[in-house]
């Protein structure tokens, strides 16, 4: 066991503050990674503030962070995929049973025994797992991912959650050339959704509540931008979309978006507001439309996504911040005031 610096929240109403946590010494299949950058996902905020209490109550002290890139600094004796000095990344998952049908299918996120990067039981040290707002992390090499060497590391970190969460449903629902794709909400997930849909050749329409994001949306790859506070503008697109990705983090009306789908079209929710939605059955009945959800992605698909990003030179647009600004960053995230992901430069932790 060794000690590392980290930032944790002591309760749902406490700010994140400097602390020290324990990490296990690498066992034979583990890699120890010095964390260089960690993205700030809106799920970190939901967790830290215990907003998902009914589904996944937060255990305090909570060290969030599941968009991790860094360098391998120690390897266990049986590690084969990594050597000292390699770049490696960790997303939302750090373990699973490896034997259940979900693991066998490469969708470890649905394993009944999955261990999330933070706020899951820690079978090695007891207590709960601690996330990436820290100096280093130790994971089984099965849950470490390779980062293409051409990618900027600060911008690559958010691929580990925002990237895979938007890439996976687009592959599942066959977003390809000439499909009409909507992305609702231009935040961390949404802007990655735009980049992927554009790279896959789709005609991309962004729905945003923020008129000041219009030019950025076009630069990121959108063909059209609709300010979603204007119902008339939305309605012009009725019955035309093959696929819509809803990334909104707060309560909102999804019925207007369901109406935009063509026959057999799909709207997938990846945003996770705490409050349940009201869905009008008629919107789905007329047109046999589909409403789905999607949760991050399994390890094989996450590697596929990273390789796709390497091939297309895709990273997140990031605002790099020192860890000391994390509480301010949370407040800005709640105001949709980030272009488009905060990425924490973990070197800043050394000066704490």
Where do contacts with Zn ion occur on this chain (CB under 5 A)?
41, 43, 161
Largest alpha-carbon pair distance within the chain?
Answer: 62
C-alpha to C-alpha distance for 193 and 88, rounded to whole angstroms: 23
- In the complex, the smallest distance separating the C-beta of residue 341 from Zn ion, rounded to whole angstroms, is 10
- Smallest CA-to-CA distance from 294 within 189, 208, 205 is with 189
C-alpha to C-alpha distance for 184 and 236, rounded to whole angstroms: 16
Residue 208: contacted member of ligand NAP, Zn ion, none (CB under 5 to 8 Å, by partner type):
ligand NAP
Between 74 and 252, CB nearer to ligand NAP: 252
Structure tokens given for 78: 């049986």
- Smallest CA-to-CA distance from 116 within 193, 59, 199 is with 59
Between 105 and 250, CB nearer to ligand NAP: 250
Between 103 and 138, CB nearer to ligand NAP: 103
Between 25 and 253, CB nearer to ligand NAP: 253
- In the complex, the smallest distance separating the C-beta of residue 232 from ligand NAP, rounded to whole angstroms, is 17
Intra-chain end-to-end CA distance of the chain, in Å: 22
Between 164 and 260, CB nearer to Zn ion: 164
C-alpha to C-alpha distance for 242 and 201, rounded to whole angstroms: 13
C-alpha to C-alpha distance for 345 and 319, rounded to whole angstroms: 10
Q: Which residues bind ligand NAP (CB under 6 A)?
A: 41-43, 46, 161-162, 165, 185-190, 208-210, 213, 247-250, 252, 270-272, 294-296, 333, 336
Between 261 and 326, CB nearer to Zn ion: 326
Residue nearest Zn ion, CB atom distance: 41
- In the complex, the smallest distance separating the C-beta of residue 161 from Zn ion, rounded to whole angstroms, is 3
Between 49 and 213, CB nearer to ligand NAP: 213
- In the complex, the smallest distance separating the C-beta of residue 158 from ligand NAP, rounded to whole angstroms, is 9
Residue labelled with tokens 């990425």? 343
C-alpha to C-alpha distance for 39 and 289, rounded to whole angstroms: 34
- Smallest CA-to-CA distance from 340 within 325, 312, 318 is with 318
Residue environment code for 195-220, b if the CB has 16+ CB neighbours within 10 A, otherwise e: bbbbbbebbbbbbbebeebbebbeeb
Residue 252: contacted member of Zn ion, ligand NAP, none (CB under 5 to 8 Å, by partner type):
ligand NAP
Residue 284: contacted member of ligand NAP, Zn ion, none (CB under 5 to 8 Å, by partner type):
none
C-alpha to C-alpha distance for 14 and 89, rounded to whole angstroms: 29
- In the complex, the smallest distance separating the C-beta of residue 191 from ligand NAP, rounded to whole angstroms, is 8
Between 41 and 79, CB nearer to ligand NAP: 41
Residue 333: contacted member of ligand NAP, Zn ion, none (CB under 5 to 8 Å, by partner type):
ligand NAP
C-alpha to C-alpha distance for 141 and 215, rounded to whole angstroms: 41
- In the complex, the smallest distance separating the C-beta of residue 41 from ligand NAP, rounded to whole angstroms, is 5
- Smallest CA-to-CA distance from 283 within 299, 304, 302, 267 is with 267
Residue labelled with tokens 């925002």? 162
Residue nearest ligand NAP, CB atom distance: 187
CA dihedral 328, 154, 163, 25 (to 10 degrees): -90
- In the complex, the smallest distance separating the C-beta of residue 20 from ligand NAP, rounded to whole angstroms, is 28
- In the complex, the smallest distance separating the C-beta of residue 267 from ligand NAP, rounded to whole angstroms, is 14
Residue 296: contacted member of ligand NAP, Zn ion, none (CB under 5 to 8 Å, by partner type):
ligand NAP
- In the complex, the smallest distance separating the C-beta of residue 46 from Zn ion, rounded to whole angstroms, is 9
In DSSP terms, 341 is beta-bridged to: 318
Between 136 and 165, CB nearer to ligand NAP: 165
């Amino acid at each position: 066991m060794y000690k590392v610096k980290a930032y944790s929240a002591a309760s749902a109403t406490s700010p994140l503050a400097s602390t020290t946590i324990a990490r296990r010494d690498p066992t034979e299949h583990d890699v120890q990674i010095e964390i260089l950058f960690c993205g700030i996902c809106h799920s970190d905020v939901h967790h830290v503030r215990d907003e998902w209490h009914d589904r996944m109550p937060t255990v305090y002290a909570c060290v969030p962070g599941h968009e991790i890139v860094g360098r391998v600094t120690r390897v266990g004796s049986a590690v084969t995929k990594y050597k000292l000095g390699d770049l490696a990344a960790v997303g939302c998952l750090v373990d699973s049973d490896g034997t259940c049908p979900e693991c066998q299918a490469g969708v470890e996120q649905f394993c009944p025994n999955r261990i999330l990067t933070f706020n899951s039981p820690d079978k090695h040290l007891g207590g709960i797992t601690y996330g990436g707002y820290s100096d280093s992390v130790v994971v089984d090499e099965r849950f470490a991912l390779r980062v293409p060497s051409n990618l900027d590391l600060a911008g690559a970190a958010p691929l580990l959650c925002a990237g895979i969460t938007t890439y996976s449903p687009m592959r599942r629902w066959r977003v390809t050339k000439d499909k009409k794709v909507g992305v609702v909400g231009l935040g961390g997930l949404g802007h990655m959704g735009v980049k992927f849909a554009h790279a896959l050749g789709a005609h991309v329409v962004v729905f945003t509540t923020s008129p000041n994001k219009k030019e950025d949306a076009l630069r990121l790859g959108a063909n059209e931008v609709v300010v979603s506070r204007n119902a008339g503008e939305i309605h012009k697109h009725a019955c035309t979309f093959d696929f819509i990705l809803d990334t909104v983090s707060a309560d909102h009306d999804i019925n207007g978006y369901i109406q935009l789908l063509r026959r057999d079209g799909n709207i997938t929710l990846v945003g996770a507001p705490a409050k349940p939605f009201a869905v009008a059955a008629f919107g789905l009945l007329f047109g046999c439309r589909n409403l789905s959800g999607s949760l991050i992605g399994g390890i094989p698909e996450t590697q596929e996504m990273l390789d796709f990003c390497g091939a297309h030179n895709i990273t997140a647009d990031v605002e790099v911040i020192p860890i000391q600004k994390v509480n301010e960053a949370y407040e800005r995230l709640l105001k949709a005031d980030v272009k488009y992901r905060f990425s924490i430069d973990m070197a800043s932790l050394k000066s704490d």
